[in-house]
Structure 1
Amino acid sequence: MAEFMDLNVSTCEDQSRVLDLISTAAQLGFSTVALNYEFEPSANHRAVPSPTPTNQLIPQLPLVQGRSRPIRVLNRLTIVTSDPGHFRPNAPEYRCYDLLAVRPTTEKLFHATDRGVVFELSYAAAIRDATRRRYTISNAVSLMESCRGRNVILSSAAEKPLELRGPYDVANLGLLFGLSDGDAKEAVSSSCRSVLLHAETRKTASGVVHTVKSPDTGPAAKRRHLME
């Protein structure tokens, strides 16, 4: 049985809303969600935000619909930048996050990302109003023409529970975005799992670099991905 994931659920200071998002995701059948924090390095030299520990946010995690285990809650940091130098996956200040992502604000940075990048399509904006829906679909179709549906994940970027949709509904949205039936289902399951496996590798590698302080890790530290 496939495990479904939503790797982009918006977090905010209203903890009750975050709890409702997590509970709704579990009821819809998602086994894993990632709470997304955003960070813009160039914005008045802001410090990297610290994620709220899951056990402080929600003492008892809700059970996933149709399963006998609780939902898994991860923390994700999205770095909004136009400067490749601001995205350093192995930086110590990022180690408290399970996932790293970058939102390029320029075409130059977008095309400068390495091979193996995973692209994310978020659908909540398409639910909020008709204008955003047109832009979301148009941008998604353009992306599909470029990447041919490979290395794509679908997420919500939901800010409130009503913006969440079930895994099969999300996969159907993927068809609207131009994904094939198989790619759309993978975009909420196996492709997300691959992202998590890559992220675990990054965190393990970070620990090794931190421990042995190898001088040969410079090039690896400069790798840039849309999803880490």
Structure 2
Amino acid sequence: MVRRAFWDLSVVLSGDESTTGDLQALITAAKEAGFRGIALNTIVAGRIESKHRCRTRALVASAGLPELETAVEDALTWAPRLGYTFRVLHRLTVRVREAADLFVFHSANEVLQTYDIVSIEVPNEKLMQQAMLLDTIDLLCFPLGARASFQLKRTQVHACAERGILFEINLNPLLARDQVTRRYALQNARSICQRTGHGTRCVLVSGAASPLQMRGPMDMANLGRVLFGMSETNSIAAVSTNANYVVRQGEARRATGGKGAQWIRHLPGGAPHPIASEDEPQDEVRSMTLAQKQ
């Protein structure tokens, strides 16, 4: 049986008033749900300021994360058999409003290096076309709770695949009280899955802001299969293999100073997409600049 490591790459701490108790509650809920790790998502609207700092990293440091990691064996009896410790990553999501907001996404920006995962939320096709050319992002997001202003094209999916960019589907808008928001979220998620080959290049995240909103990995996979039209294989990969690829992509980007690093491995003939597996230790990192790729 293949051992899978499940990830939730979007857990939101609500505002600057978040305490270490809130963080501990989210981590405990994620451990009990069966995740290997989570990504604390910091959302920024507009351009990133040069003085911006990763507040979640300071909060985790004040909470004493090493003690939380060693507590996994006590909280979950199966954790020692799996042979890994719980990880807390830090993610940045920028909701771009205009083209000028994308100018800060370059390898010399030290702010991006303080985050393990970097993502962009684009509201229209024009900004998406520009975001696709960036080598410093790991995930591409869309405002699922609003009416889509454009339809994702397969050529755009292939262009993102060449740069190792995956697409995020956030389950949190499906829990909104507004019926219109839930309907748009369902329509947009189904459209993304359809354009990406039944969710081949998608990552499912909970967007949880409280332990009550935290869902188990198989629950998320079942929602992707039943509601969004994902295949069973792709729905499970969206919370395991694909998510692990994003984590490794971020690690490679930070290790090479953001110079467009990607995880590369040889694929057999007819392989559907270049997703690296956490079960293959022979994967290696190659740093490639944009000029080298072209």
Identify the TM-score tier after normalising by the shorter chain.
Answer: 0.7 to 0.9
| Residues 163-172 or 113-122, more deviating | 113-122
Alignment of 1:1-228 (within 5 A): 1-12=3-14, 13-15=17-19, 16-42=21-47, 47-51=51-55, 52-53=57-58, 54-59=60-65, 60-61=67-68, 62-63=71-72, 65=76, 66-68=78-80, 69-81=84-96, 82-83=98-99, 84-88=102-106, 90-112=108-130, 113-114=132-133, 115-116=160-161, 117-129=165-177, 130-148=179-197, 149-175=199-225, 176-206=227-257, 220=290
- Please report how far the alpha carbon of residue 121 of structure 1 lies from its aligned counterpart in structure 2 after TM superposition: 0.5
TM-score, with length taken from structure 2: 0.66
Q: What is the CA–CA distance in structure 1 between the aligned matches of 2:250 and 2:122, rounded to whole Å?
A: 19
Q: Answer yes or no: is the 8 Å Cα contact 2:50–2:111 preserved in 1.
A: no
2:251 partner amino acid? E
Greater Rg over alpha carbons, structure: 2
Residues 2-50 of structure 1: CA deviation (Å, up to 9, x unaligned): 110001100233222222111101110001100001123448x584232
Structure scoring higher RCO (CA < 8 A, sep ≥ 6) equals 1
Distance 1:106 1:153 in 2: 20
Contact 1:124 1:164 in 2 (8 A): no
- One-letter amino acid of the structure 1 residue matched with residue 18 of structure 2: D
SS across alignment from 1:37: strand
Normalization by structure 1: what TM-score? 0.83
Partner of 1:158, secondary structure, is coil
Counterpart amino acid of residue 175 in structure 2: I
Unaligned runs of 5+ in 1: 210-216, 224-228
Find the aligned partners of 2:8 and 2:25 in 1 and give their Cα distance.
15
Q: Where does structure 1 differ by over 4 angstroms across 4 or more consecutive aligned residues? A: none
The change in CA–CA distance for 1:14 and 1:172 in structure 2 (over 3 A counts) is same
* Structure 2 residue aligned with 1:212: none
CA contact (8 A) 2:106 2:258 kept: no
1:183 partner amino acid: N
- Letter of the aligned partner of 2:93 in structure 1? T
Deviation at 1:58, TM superposition (A): 4.1
Tell me if structure 2 keeps the 8 A contact 1:6–1:156: yes
SS in 2 for 1:206: coil
Aligned-residue offset at 1:165? 0.6
Identity %: 28
